[in-house]
Structure 1
Amino acid sequence: MTMRAHPLVGLDEHYADLLAALDRGEALRRALALLAEGSEVAWTASPDADGVLTLDQVTGDWTGVLRALQVPPNTGLTGKVFQTGRAEWVDDYFGSQEITHDFDRHMATEKVRRVLAVPLLRDGKRLGVMAIAPRQNGTFGDREIEHASAIAAQAALAVSVAERARLSREIAVHEERRRMAADLHDSVGALLFAIGSGMADLAEATQADPELQARLDRLRRQAVDATTALRESLRTLRSSPAALALGVALRADCAAFADRTGLPAELVVLDEEPPELAPSRSDVLLTAVREALLNVEKHAHAGAVTVSVRRSDPWLTIAVHDDGVGLGPDHTPGLGLTSTAEALARLGGSLRVVSDPDGGTIWRARLPC
């Protein structure tokens, strides 16, 4: 008699897979295991802001000399592949004239003979490099190159998904911090103000008692100090890293729209790293999005709204997409749309509003970033 697995067992496995997909490190570890097949030296390398790669995942090594190794741009095969953005290989690592030999000592220590490296690319963005380095002599064939490239493509997708999930979590955390700051201001801040005012009234009523008045003055100063400390804490809670500020503000606008209308409004950031804008440019975009959401609220008769942010150098694009009635055949831009378009144009940007063939309206603002 065979025992059937409980349905929750399969659910646990799917949940574990989902968590792995949302974790950059775990996604790369799984991809690396597929690439190395448990027997070869293999690694992934991730870039910093200056394009210097770090071997952050290494498998199959013996000595540890490759772990956390720094690879400057265009050095070795890994650095070269990151610069060129295409798969490359050397069947004789130490005799190759196609690469620099900055890392010959490391390869010799690991007894590597040849290396195949493939870029991690997603939407034209270079996310890193994966490489496999057999210890046996031989040549890389088309099948091995295609296999490595396919794994790298899936790994790049996983990294992209994981980075977007991380960004969404960070934006949510900072939005929650802003909400907490507002609650503390309304509750504790108001209470401290009431205490200070009450003590001021008592001080006036007890002028004939110098000792009591002195005690009240001390309490008033302590209340002032507590208010100052609270104000500094609220400022810290409200602040967001520059790279998250736009996302946090947009999420707050979506939440405010949902509170006003009862309609779901979702923010989708379509990049691994959010754009950083000068406050003046960010203010123009946020004002524009709020105007777009107000138009949806007043005219669209929509059931849901999505606000999306995407950077495609040199442009930053924000779109507000509703599933409402769309634009009428005699639609003409009102004062709000006209003012928004003019404000964006002064910064080199543009605004376009069109009906979605599948229903609803797409409002799209572009600004150089």
Structure 2
Amino acid sequence: MNGLSNAGGKKDRGKPVSESTHTAAHEFKHSDVRTSILDDLALSRAELLVLTDEASAMTTAGQRIREIDAFDMSLVGRIEVDGAMVHRSWQGTQSNALHRLVVPEGVGLGGKSIMLQKPVWVRDYLSDAGITHDFDALVAQESLRGMLAVPMVYEGRVLGAVYVGTREYSSFGDRVIAEIQSTAATAAVTLVSAQRAAAQTELAIEAERNRLAESLHDSVSPVLFRIGAELQSLRALGDAQAIHDRLQEITDQVHAVNASIRRSLTDLSARPPERELPVGIEEDCQSFALRTGIPARFVPLTESPDLDASRVEALQRLVREALVNVEKHADASTVVVSLSVRSGRVTVVISDDGRGVDGADDPARGSQLGLGLAAGRLERLGGGMSVVSDDENGTTVRGWVDAIDGSGA
């Protein structure tokens, strides 16, 4: 194994080890961090990273740090509420004990790392005297021994931490720690970029809301004011016919206001045919995230064609069934849904990073029954569906139909 030596059943990763190896949490002070070309680009051109999101950034960081020295598992946590960190991404775990765990500052290994703003490692988590042991029972469920936590810091602000762990006694040397620091630094830049991109999107949505509010105010408010004034003027009228005529005028004005509001609401909800499927998928992803707390990202890779209603419904039903399966069975930390059109075929792909599901080769079985029904709809339209699933990489559901538009062309 690269960067690994064995001594008496214990492993030293990335030697040399610059700190002593007595039983206490070790703080890393080495700052010579070497970055790859891609990481240099990420650090110097953060604006290029706006196509990712926070969940994807954390998943990528977890994958990269685990591959540095073939660690048994990795975790990525993000600072969320009252300075506490929440584990949001994981690779190689054997249970859900550490999933979505809330880690206050200073508590455990990760909490100490974010408090000190520096890497901290232990050879044996369960017996180390340098950390608190609030999470020992959870760590024991994972059979972890050696662990390293590295904070993600951007311009002096701690965003969270990344961890790697082994299921044997291990030390962590300068090279490994430096490489993980590099990955953590890149992840921090990516997280900030994703947050800024999300903020820009919210600003654009808010600006559109303000525009619509101003439009409604300018068109409706004067009419409402006039209606109120005319109602007040009824008090001065003594003739029943005059009152009746004035009430008819007011009724006509109310109808006009109602029609104006209806037109505005129709404009708000109207979708061009080519946007029907992307908007529907985005709404499903948002509903899934709100319902489960699991980030779900929609990525439209190409422009969507103007599909007929049956194809839109079949593809969207597949997305919904796949998301339901993730919610019930996958124990995933993130979901990505993509939409693309190539060679006249429209394809949706739903991928999660959870555990695999039984019956992937036969979606009509067991928990996959809903997917089997969705596959039948696609097949009747000349399309199809595939499911690839395993414990390490999660599940990927792919569905496709030919891109025949709503006019039948």
Q: What TM-score do you get using the length of structure 1 for normalisation? A: 0.51
- The aligned counterpart of 1:36 is 66
> Contact 2:49 / 2:190 at 8 angstroms: preserved in 1?
no
> Contact 1:119 / 1:129 at 8 angstroms: preserved in 2?
yes
In 2, Cα distance between equivalents of 1:39 and 1:83: 24
Offset of residue 19 of structure 1: 7.2
Q: Equivalent residue of 2:126, what SS?
A: coil
In 2, Cα distance between equivalents of 1:32 and 1:162: 17
> Contact 2:112 / 2:131 at 8 angstroms: preserved in 1?
yes
> Contact 2:52 / 2:194 at 8 angstroms: preserved in 1?
yes
Counterparts of 1:334-353 in structure 2, within 5 Å, are none
In 1, Cα distance between equivalents of 2:142 and 2:197: 36
> Contact 1:40 / 1:134 at 8 angstroms: preserved in 2?
yes
Q: Equivalent residue of 1:139, what SS?
A: strand
> Contact 1:21 / 1:158 at 8 angstroms: preserved in 2?
no
Provide the aligned C-alpha RMSD in A: 3.7
> Contact 1:82 / 1:128 at 8 angstroms: preserved in 2?
yes
- Give a deviation string over 1:182-202, Cα, whole Å, max 9, x none: 111112223444555677789
Runs of 5+ in structure 2 lacking a partner?
A: 1-46, 266-409
Q: Does 1:138 align with 2:191?
A: no
- The aligned counterpart of 2:297 is none
In 1, Cα distance between equivalents of 2:71 and 2:171: 17
Q: Does 1:209 align with 2:236?
A: no
> Contact 1:32 / 1:42 at 8 angstroms: preserved in 2?
yes
Offset of residue 208 of structure 1: 3.8
- The aligned counterpart of 1:177 is 209
1:82 to 114, 120, 125: 114
In 1, Cα distance between equivalents of 2:50 and 2:116: 29
What one-letter code is carried by the residue in structure 1 that aligns with 2:154? R
Indicate the larger mover: 152-161 or 171-180. 171-180
Q: 1:89 to 1:39 in 2, by over 3 A?
A: closer
> Contact 1:127 / 1:156 at 8 angstroms: preserved in 2?
yes
2:140 to 87, 108, 112: 108
- Give a deviation string over 1:120-155, Cα, whole Å, max 9, x none: 100111101111111133221111101110000000
Q: 1:191 to 1:222 in 2, by over 3 A?
A: closer
- The aligned counterpart of 2:192 is 160
> Contact 2:109 / 2:131 at 8 angstroms: preserved in 1?
yes
Counterparts of 1:346-361 in structure 2, within 5 Å, are none
Q: Does 1:96 align with 2:103?
A: no
2:85 to 53, 59, 70: 53
1:124 to 143, 156, 162: 156
Q: Does 1:189 align with 2:221?
A: yes
Runs of 5+ in structure 1 lacking a partner?
A: 1-16, 234-369
> Contact 2:49 / 2:193 at 8 angstroms: preserved in 1?
no
Q: 1:60 to 1:20 in 2, by over 3 A?
A: farther
2:181 to 139, 142, 149: 149
- Give a deviation string over 1:284-340, Cα, whole Å, max 9, x none: xxxxxxxxxxxxxxxxxxxxxxxxxxxxxxxxxxxxxxxxxxxxxxxxxxxxxxxxx
Offset of residue 214 of structure 1: 8.6
In 2, Cα distance between equivalents of 1:171 and 1:214: 45
- Give a deviation string over 1:230-264, Cα, whole Å, max 9, x none: 9xx9xxxxxxxxxxxxxxxxxxxxxxxxxxxxxxx
Offset of residue 207 of structure 1: 2.5
Q: 1:30 to 1:173 in 2, by over 3 A?
A: same
Offset of residue 103 of structure 1: 1.0
> Contact 1:203 / 1:213 at 8 angstroms: preserved in 2?
no
Q: Does 1:65 align with 2:97?
A: yes
- Give a deviation string over 1:31-79, Cα, whole Å, max 9, x none: 1110112752111112234112111112211111111111122110000
In 2, Cα distance between equivalents of 1:216 and 1:207: 14
Indicate the larger mover: 209-218 or 90-99. 209-218
- Give a deviation string over 1:153-172, Cα, whole Å, max 9, x none: 00000001111111111122
- The aligned counterpart of 2:327 is none
In 2, Cα distance between equivalents of 1:58 and 1:102: 20
- The aligned counterpart of 1:252 is none
Q: What TM-score do you get using the length of structure 2 for normalisation? A: 0.46
> Contact 1:90 / 1:116 at 8 angstroms: preserved in 2?
yes
> Contact 2:223 / 2:253 at 8 angstroms: preserved in 1?
no
In 2, Cα distance between equivalents of 1:93 and 1:200: 78
Instruction: Return the structure number with greater relative CO, CA threshold 8 A, min gap 6.
Output: 2
- The aligned counterpart of 1:255 is none
Q: 1:200 to 1:94 in 2, by over 3 A?
A: closer
In 1, Cα distance between equivalents of 2:93 and 2:161: 17
The number of residues matched between the two structures is 214
